[in-house]
Structure 1
């Protein structure tokens, strides 16, 4: 790599790194605030909550990286234009194609990294996130519960969730007394109270279980049907952790999605493998919007134009995926019509004739 290419790529990598770190930090902070507001940290545990936030941030990187690169190209090349460094480079014989080549030196590795995240890391992160969220919503794991405190978690659906209370626990945390468990799901409330309880040692291949002694089950039917009360001497409570094995396409391996004919699977597969293409095309589209006249300094027209173009892309990418999911558009053209339009738009912006018309007034 020649010194000019290294200089331009450095001017792009510095803002890209800073913007990516800032966006990742903001996203992590927002996710943490959502967990705390939803009282999930109590039932999940602080350490597990931080792991879920980290997983969600990793998932978001496939979107945050193209955004960061797009803004970095506008800012990085924009500074070179404002400081007349591009003019100096052109007087030294550096062509427009050379600048585009330097942008691609950064965009292609970032696109590949975004693609690897989307194709391989995204399914794993979703699977881990689903499993931990399911444990917070459904699993009655007493190891994380302290005596004398109420713990709650929100389930899927309006009004769904559970509350757990344990009056006392022994030193080992396995023997409990005066246990209260409330769960509301799909219009039915269930209250379990027991004088004593203990957690069964986990056995490989079996679902976790808790043994409740000398208690009652109150099942309240909000639909108007008859309520029921059951008294028991011993009740074996199995957790609902088996539900986490249900099929979820976002956590499904990319190779499995590739073989599926289901519209939702096709949309998810095409979304994953389109990340490198989207990243590179966005970087190329950002190049014309970085140009500004040295006398004018920072051009507001370029900034608003770049923001508008990205907003349109974001809306169209969501529509393209939704249309494939709903079967409105088949596997071919799938979501690829959007990237064909983006490629044509990028090449038209970078062409000499269109570029002169667009920036002639500056």
Structure 2
């Protein structure tokens, strides 16, 4: 790599890592505040909460990396253009094609990193997140309760009481569980209970109850019932479990699936490196201003609007594939074909303007 290419690479990578660090820091701070507000710390503990935050940060990188590089290209090249460095480079024979080629040589490995994260790291992080979320949401979560206290929830209509817990925190004694549903109230009592730890996506979070009774009180009809059991497995129903499993599914499994939801998820993962590269090409066009024009604020505003439009369209394109509105082909690829056309139209026009100014 020549000296000029190294210089441009440095001018782009430094703001890239700076912007990425800021965005990741903001995301982590927001996630911690949100989890603290939802009382996840009391349920899982501080260590597990921080683990959950880190997993969510890994998931967010597939979006944060493209936008960080997009901003860094605009900032880096705009600064060089404003400080007359672009004119100096052109005067020594470093053409616009060389600048574009240099940006591409940086965008391609950044896009590959984004793609690897999306194809492999993101599903793993979703799987681990799902397990932690399931442990936090399970109704009879032993980590959630202190012995000798009643816990109630107006939202779910539940009241839970645990008389005693062992040192491990997973075994409970003298459990009382009341839930009020539409038309019926249910009381579950058990002498002992054991919380099973979820270690995989295939395993549903559950608690095993031993030596107890189930009282079902129906109203207004007299249809009360009592069931005695020696062992009962209590499962928690999670409405988002299917969504989580699709997000956490291995890429190879999605590749073999013909379900529209899986196809949309696979195409989203495959589109991450393409999005990074195309957004970088579009970002180059925003830097083609006259050095005498102080329009940096306007440039970043337009760039922000363009990215917002792209991000919303990408979500819409994925939803259309999931719902079968658009088939597997063109799938979500029509959006990236549109980005490619826009990038192709912007860059040549910008070059012609530059040549006329010279």
TM class by shorter chain equals 0.7 to 0.9
**Counterpart-to-counterpart distance in 2, 1:137 and 1:198:** 17
Residues 317, 87 of structure 1: alpha-carbon distance in 2 compared, 3 angstrom cutoff: same
Q: State the TM-score, normalized to the length of structure 1.
A: 0.83
- In structure 1, the partner of 2:175 is 179
Q: Displacement of 1:27 after TM fit?
A: 1.3
SS of 2:177's equivalent in the other structure is strand
Residues 295, 94 of structure 1: alpha-carbon distance in 2 compared, 3 angstrom cutoff: same
SS of 1:112's equivalent in the other structure is helix
SS of 1:249's equivalent in the other structure is helix
- Give the 5 Å matches for 1:162-311: 164-171=160-167, 173=169, 176-183=172-179, 190-194=186-190, 196-197=191-192, 199=194, 209-213=207-211, 217-219=214-216, 228=224, 230=226, 232=228, 235-240=230-235, 248-311=245-308
CA-to-partner distance for each residue in 1:155-174, whole Å, 9 max, x for gaps?
A: xxxx4486644344355657
Q: Displacement of 1:227 after TM fit?
A: 7.0
Q: State the TM-score, normalized to the length of structure 2.
A: 0.84
Residues 188, 289 of structure 1: alpha-carbon distance in 2 compared, 3 angstrom cutoff: farther
**Counterpart-to-counterpart distance in 2, 1:160 and 1:245:** 18
**Counterpart-to-counterpart distance in 2, 1:221 and 1:360:** 84
User: RMSD in angstroms over aligned alpha carbons?
Assistant: 3.5
SS of 2:331's equivalent in the other structure is coil
SS of 2:94's equivalent in the other structure is coil
**Counterpart-to-counterpart distance in 2, 1:268 and 1:148:** 46
CA-to-partner distance for each residue in 1:18-41, whole Å, 9 max, x for gaps?
A: 111111121122222222222222
- List gaps (5 residues or longer) in structure 2: none
CA-to-partner distance for each residue in 1:67-125, whole Å, 9 max, x for gaps?
A: 10001111111111111111111111111111111211221111000101111111111
Matched, 1:334 2:336: no
Q: Displacement of 1:328 after TM fit?
A: 1.2
SS of 1:5's equivalent in the other structure is helix
SS of 1:297's equivalent in the other structure is coil
CA-to-partner distance for each residue in 1:268-302, whole Å, 9 max, x for gaps?
A: 11111111111000001001112333333343332
Q: Is the contact between residue 167 and residue 179 of structure 1 (CA under 8 Å) also seen in structure 2?
A: yes
CA-to-partner distance for each residue in 1:166-185, whole Å, 9 max, x for gaps?
A: 34435565765553334567
Matched, 1:345 2:338: no
Matched, 1:29 2:29: yes
Number of residues of Structure 1 aligned to a counterpart in Structure 2: 351
SS of 1:93's equivalent in the other structure is coil
**Counterpart-to-counterpart distance in 2, 1:312 and 1:359:** 30
**Counterpart-to-counterpart distance in 2, 1:21 and 1:186:** 49
**Counterpart-to-counterpart distance in 1, 2:275 and 2:94:** 27
Q: Displacement of 1:61 after TM fit?
A: 0.5
SS of 1:230's equivalent in the other structure is strand
Q: Displacement of 1:128 after TM fit?
A: 1.3
**Counterpart-to-counterpart distance in 1, 2:75 and 2:195:** 59
- Give the 5 Å matches for 1:84-103: 84-103=84-103
- List gaps (5 residues or longer) in structure 1: none
Q: Is the contact between residue 73 and residue 280 of structure 2 (CA under 8 Å) also seen in structure 1?
A: yes
**Counterpart-to-counterpart distance in 1, 2:222 and 2:310:** 54
